[in-house]
Amino acid sequence: MNNPLRSLAGRIILLVFIASVVSALTVSLISVQSLDGFLREKVNQRLPRVASEISEDLDQWYTLRARELEVFAGSTILSESTPNLETQGRRGARARDEARQYLRYVLESFPQYECLVLAKPDGTPMIEVGQGEALPEILLSESAPTLGATVINDSVRIGRDVFQLASAPLTDSNGRTIARLYASIDLDHLMPTLGNTELGESAKVFLVDRDMKFLNPPVGVAPNYRFTISGDESHDRVDSNSDVVHYDNVSNVHVIAAMSEFPRFGWTLVIEQPFDDAFAPVVSSIGRVAALNFAIVLIVGLAASRIAGSFVKPLRALSEAAMRLSEGEREVEIEETTRSSEEVNLLTRAFNDMSRGLGKNAREIERSHRALEAANEELVNKNDELSKMNTILEQLSITDGLTKLHNHRYFQEAIAKECKRSARTKEPLALILIDIDHFKRWNDRLGHAGGDEILRRLAEVIHRCVRATDILTRYGGEEFALLALDTDLPGAVALAEKTRAAVEMEDFVTDVPSEKEQLTVSIGVAAFDGDDKQFFIDADTALYAAKDAGRNRVLAAD
């Protein structure tokens, strides 16, 4: 048997094969090393950046909670009710009912708070609403900061419960602190802020307090578990110049992590991602590079066999076919002939297979391109849907869920805007405050569901009486506020009387035969004279005067 290495074709094939293998291995090694280094650098940059972004989002979340608490503490209901909370008699009972009802409304609207406490400046509780056990009085007194400051304290641990205590001052018209509003913040509502989709579902974000105890411990770990970094000291850091470390976490999973300080409370934010998930692209790339290099070696070997065993015509045919392929023609094939040697036919078949593979790849690329366009279109549609949902959420934030009227927040914004407009344009502006007479008695008779139905029906009756340009809101509880634009005091009184009569004529209780008493309202009216604060006080004073005068009547402020 002849030695194949003695032929020129065999030597050329062997030489080309060796050169291809060496080149492929060299390129593979360099590629994998470069990719590994690049990915490690990206990981070192990405984890601290994501930790910083989450820390900023967290700080904004607490800033929003502080501003919310200031708004709640600045409520007219609380500021007017607080001086009378310890007063005996009807005025004190009404003040306590109004304050308690307002605080319950806040808890229902803002689930991130577990409980609200209205306390004296020294921390002595006056009114407390919410779920769970009452907050210890000593905790309130120890947490009482400077009287004029709004603060959110560090985490508090009582048994297995972990929460935060925030407080804001209530001031009177002279700016003196008359009480403090305390709120316990449920840390479970903080968890969505820690989410980040950039690192994938395998990444976890944890908060640890000053004592390095988990605030949101992993599944199966107690809240008092202390966070520590364990592992081989020689592999304690991915890069000595980065803030990224890797270790075995409490679940014995090898992870890479970045830690960022949260200076507001002296906490530490920790992002953990399994090491295998973070560096999976390197393993995947090694396989792809090896497969690609194997294909290249095979093609080069076949090409060397064709070159060694053929001459001008096969080379010309191959050149022409390659040119057609390079010009964009798909699945270019060279016809096999019986006059060509087996080596030439083998190379021809290899070339034809390559051409068909390129055609198949081109079709796959086109299919992928169409799928990408469809995905982009779907993403645009999702963004449009998200924009619509944001609009709906914004509308819901200023709408009372029971009566579908604008809520207290919208009223505060509207009265400030309309007072400025009236002061600028000199157009008249009137405020009508409407309160249901003896609503607590109705509520006790009919139950909360019946009381809610009365509020909904009353909102419909009042809405039929007002104009499209008027601003009707549910101010709170059984009280409604109506801003009558471009309306002087006599016109507002006439509108109020029309509303009062319409309510008196309406049958609100139809399915309880024993309830024959007619529902009535008391109404206070005031005209804007340049002072927006006095504007509301005048209408409120007129409303209380109507109540004291016997109810079911309209009174205007002097």
Q: Which two tokens stand for residue 226?
A: 């202390």
Q: What is the pLDDT of residue 231?
A: 45
**Higher local confidence (pLDDT), 536 or 53:** 536
Write out pLDDT tens, residues 179-188.
Answer: 888 888 877 7
pLDDT at 309: 55
C-alpha span between 208 and 261 (Å, rounded): 10
For residues 471 and 486, give the distance between their C-alpha atoms in angstroms, rounded to a whole number.
12
**Is the confidence at residue 439, as pLDDT, over 70?**
yes
pLDDT in tens, 96-136: 898 889 888 888 888 888 888 888 887 788 888 987 666 77
* pLDDT tens-place string over residues 335-390: 766 566 666 667 777 777 777 777 777 778 888 888 888 888 888 888 778 777 76
Burial (Cβ within 10 Å: 0-12, 13-18, ≥19) of residue 349: middle
Which residues make Cβ contacts (< 8 Å) with residue 180, sequence separation at least 6? Answer: 73, 118, 119, 120, 121, 123, 144, 147, 167, 168, 169, 170
Q: What does pLDDT average to over the chain?
A: 78
Look at residue 269 and tell me whether its pLDDT is greater than 90: no
pLDDT at residue 496, as a whole number: 93
**Model pLDDT, residue 520:** 93
Is 94's pLDDT higher than 50? Answer: yes
326 vs 431, residue with greater confidence: 431
Q: Which residues contact 68 (CB under 8 A, 6 or more apart)?
A: 110
* pTM (predicted TM-score): 0.45
CA distance 40 to 530: 66
Residues 376-418: pLDDT tens digits? Answer: 888 888 877 877 776 666 666 788 888 889 999 999 999 999 9
Contacts of 381 (CB under 8 A, 6+ apart): none
What pLDDT score does 240 carry?
36
Dihedral sign (CA 182, 109, 391, 399): negative
